[in-house]
Amino acid sequence: MQRSTRITLISLLALVAILAAACAPAAAPAAPQVVTKEVIVTKEVPKEVIVTKEVVVQPTVDPNAPKPMAAGSVQLNGAGATFPDPIYTEWRFAYQYVDPSVVINYQAIGSGGGKKGIVDGTLDFAGSDSLLTTEYTATTKGQLQMFPTLAGAEVLIVNLAPEVTQTLVIDGPTLAGIYLATITKWNDPAIAKLNPTAALPDKPITVVHRSDGSGTTEIFTKYLADVSADWKSGPGAGQSVQWPVDKAGNGVGGKGNAGVAAAVQNTPYSIGYVELSYAVANKITFADMVNKAGKTVKANAESLASAMADYGDKFNDKLTINMISNGGSDKSWPIAGYTYQVLYMDWKSDATLGCAKAEKYLNWVNWFMTDPAAAKRATDLGYAVLPDTVRAKVFSTLAKVTCDGQPVNSDITKK
């Protein structure tokens, strides 16, 4: 077949195909595509935020309420017995933290000086181990009141080193003989009998006593008078006596516990008497004693408590007791006594402070008589606190204290 004929045939076939396509029924239109969009809505839960807000609530102020007193604005002045000075010092210091408005001063000048000061009006309160006599009560028209605060023991300190280092033992009659100057050497048979294993020196005894008027001396001499008829009929008992050893030439006086202790410690072959609390506080060794029951005892809280129990609460209406020495129990320490404070039952108001002094003083007394820590410190120093029955009597009396004739609103009166 010729070339032109083939081209014409191809063209006709193509035309037929086109026409066939054109004449075919139209195809159904394609279904539209539906796009489904899933919408997820998320809701954020807000976090819980805790805000701490400090709210200060101011109390409603009572315009009539008293304002707190400034630190140190009330000064209480006391003086007197050396017997309680170690514990009074600690109680005074500790009370500054209980009531900062109060400053309590106390000078250990001896019971005689304390009683004179309260009578003269130079003190707010006095300390005394010796009892008030008519000399003081008559001057103050019966306004002075004593009350016991503690009990304590008196002990004998000796200087026998280096010959004797063991604890010495002394009994009442022998002690009286030493202070009467009838026993003058350390190897005297009376002392040797009580200390059979001690190498007692053949040395004269230097006897130390208080040179100032003191309740310590009164307690000591009451004991000597109780165990020795010669002492009772001779020097007797009191806060000051005429010492036979001074007349004999072997006596030495010392002022206060410190003076007696210093004299003994600086004088070989000497003996003296001080309060147990002072010896404990200053780590001074002391002798054991034979008591009325014939038992050798040591001075400590147990033997002191036993001595107190021998006399119970046999206080008179003035809240005093003559002595608690030489009791009959096996465990009792033989030389013991109460120490007292002295105050006026009607205080005079201060131009600036009003009756605050009386109130603060009674609050301090209430604190040291009821606070467990105050009591523990006292026993640690060798004192014994008041039995409950005695303390109740004290509170009953002190609740009657007045200021310008009006009741004092203290912690004691609130009981």
pLDDT in tens, 288-326: 999 999 999 999 989 999 999 999 888 988 899 988 999
The 3-state DSSP class for residue 322 equals: coil
Residues 247 and 142 in one domain: no
Count the residues in the chain.
415
Burial bucket for residue 68 (CB in 10 Å: 0-12, 13-18, 19+): exposed
In a domain, 132, yes or no: yes
| Same domain assignment for residues 126 and 233 | no
The answer as to whether 131 is a domain residue is yes
Residue 276 placed within a domain: yes
pTM to 2 decimals?
Answer: 0.78
**Cβ–Cβ under 8 Å, residues 383 and 368:** no
Count of CA atoms in the C-beta half-sphere (13 A) of 26: 3
Distance (Å, whole) CA 319 – CA 343: 13
Q: Are residues 366 and 261 in the same domain?
A: no
- 35 falls within a domain: no
- CATH number of residue 180's parent domain: 3.40.190.10
**CA–CA dist 335, 274 (Å, integer):** 11
Number of domains the chain is built from:
2
What is the gyration radius of the CA atoms in the chain, in angstroms?
47
Q: Which of 66-75, 101-110, 252-261, 363-372 has the lowest mean pLDDT?
A: 66-75
The partner residues of 274 in beta bridges, in order of sequence, read 155
- pLDDT, tens digit, 9 for 90 and up, residues 180-205: 999 999 999 999 999 999 999 999 99
Residue ending a domain, among 294, 310, 326, is: 310
pLDDT digits (tens, 9 = 90+) for 66-113: 567 787 789 999 999 998 999 999 999 999 999 999 999 999 999 999
The amino acid at residue 119 is V
- Residues 241 and 252 placed together within one structural domain of the fold: yes
For residue 156 the two structure tokens come to 């004998």
Dihedral angle, C-alpha 239, 243, 246, 252, nearest 10 °: -40
Q: Is residue 7 included in any domain, yes or no?
A: no
Residue 265 sits in the same domain as residue 291: yes
- Which element (helix H / strand E) includes 320? none
One domain for residues 257 and 203: yes
- Looking at the fold, whether 163 and 306 belong to one and the same domain comes out as yes
Say if residue 162 is preceded by a cis peptide, omega within 30 of 0. Answer: yes
**Domain of 110, in residue numbers:** 74-151+335-407
Judgement on whether residues 157 and 138 belong to the same structural domain of the protein: no
Strands in 346-347's sheet, in edge-to-edge order, are 346-347, 402-403, 406-407
